Amino acid sequence: MTVLVVGATGSIGRLVVEEAVRRRHAVRALVRDPAKARQLPSEAQVALGDVTRPDTLSNAMDGVEAIVFTLGSDGAGKVGAERVDYGGVRNVLRALGSRKARIALMTSIGVTNRIGAYNRTTEAHDWKRRSERLVRASGLPYTIVRPGWFDYNGPDEHRLVLLQGDTRQAGNPSDGAVARRQIAEILVCSLTSNHALRRTFELIATAGLAPEDFDGLFAPLDGDPQGALDGVHDMANMPLEDEPQRVRDDLDVVRATTRQSACTDD
């Protein structure tokens, strides 16, 4: 597959690029700072672009068959969360247009927790959750991975556990932890697994060995209901009618693009 990595220079994105190269995908890394591209494996093709500037994205889309999103706007507050974590996904999906691509989106464990101090300060959960909704509404084949705390796992904790319903909401590493490299691995593996289609899950690790059979991990999960905005078993605490008008408009646009592509297929 030709895989576009959005957030390719980040702590997870770099590992996604490495993992996708290792699995013999053709990798294209979206990078906004050319100097940072030097840290990526030479096999990766670099596409310069900034997700907040839609005019810079079209060149990255040629021939793309899959997209892995690992964007992060940490430290940029509510404005960054809307512009990058949410707006970045929206702008890339728009640039993709009616092309079909497999999507793997990384958000976060606790993403449905709206009342905790972190979300009240940053709205990062709300905007990441809205990016999940855009992906579900797009009608594209997708997997949404909500990892626990990066690299807070113990040295013997590599057995991956996939949870649904986002019920762990302490907002600290007691919610679960997982190695960065394993997050990258599952994002890349999801792209080629039919068992991962329309799956939304939290990802943590417990004591034990790393898995080899990813299909076996995905298969027991419940799929998101067709047409649903939230993950299966998620708390219904973000009613669409209370959402900002601009967010509802974005959902309408992404749905219309899907309809257009369905008509083209006919």
Ligand X SMILES: NC(=O)c1ccc[n+]([C@@H]2O[C@H](COP(=O)([O-])OP(=O)(O)OC[C@H]3O[C@@H](n4cnc5c(N)ncnc54)[C@H](OP(=O)(O)O)[C@@H]3O)[C@@H](O)[C@H]2O)c1
Q: Pick from 119, 147, 200, 214: which binds ligand X (CB under 6 A)? A: 147
Distance (Å, rounded) from C-alpha 7 to C-alpha 41?
15
Q: Pick from 52, 167, 192, 258: which binds ligand X (CB under 6 A)? A: 52
Nearer to ligand X, 35 or 263 (CB): 35
- Is 114 a binding residue for ligand X by CB under 6 A? The answer is no
Distance (Å, rounded) from C-alpha 226 to C-alpha 203?
22
Contacts of 151 by beta carbon, 8 Å cutoff, 6+ apart: 177, 179, 180
What six digits make up the tokens of 219?
A: 């298969």
- Which is it for the CA torsion 42, 45, 46, 51, positive or negative? negative
Q: Pick from 3, 10, 131, 144: which binds ligand X (CB under 6 A)? A: 10
Q: Pick from 22, 23, 26, 36: which binds ligand X (CB under 6 A)? A: 36
Please state the three-class secondary structure of 150-173 as a single string. ECCCCCCECEEEEECCCCCCCCCH
Q: Pick from 48, 150, 228, 261: which binds ligand X (CB under 6 A)? A: 150
Of 2-10, 19-27, 133-141, 209-217, the window that binds ligand X (rule: CB under 6 A) is: 2-10
- Cβ count near 206 (within 10 Å): 15
Classify residue 121 as left (phi > 0), alpha (psi -120 to 50) or beta: alpha
Which of positions 12-31 make contact with ligand X (CB under 6 A)?
A: 12-13
Q: Pick from 4, 27, 51, 179: which binds ligand X (CB under 6 A)? A: 51
- Is 7 a binding residue for ligand X by CB under 6 A? The answer is yes
Nearer to ligand X, 55 or 266 (CB): 55
Of 18-26, 39-47, 72-80, 254-262, the window that binds ligand X (rule: CB under 6 A) is: 72-80
Q: How far is the CB of 69 from ligand X (least distance, A)?
A: 9
What six digits make up the tokens of 179?
A: 């190695």
- On whether the CB atoms of residues 178 and 204 are closer than 8 A, the answer is yes
Which residues contribute to the site for ligand X (CB under 6 A)? 7-13, 32-33, 36, 50-52, 70-74, 84-85, 108-109, 124, 147, 149-150
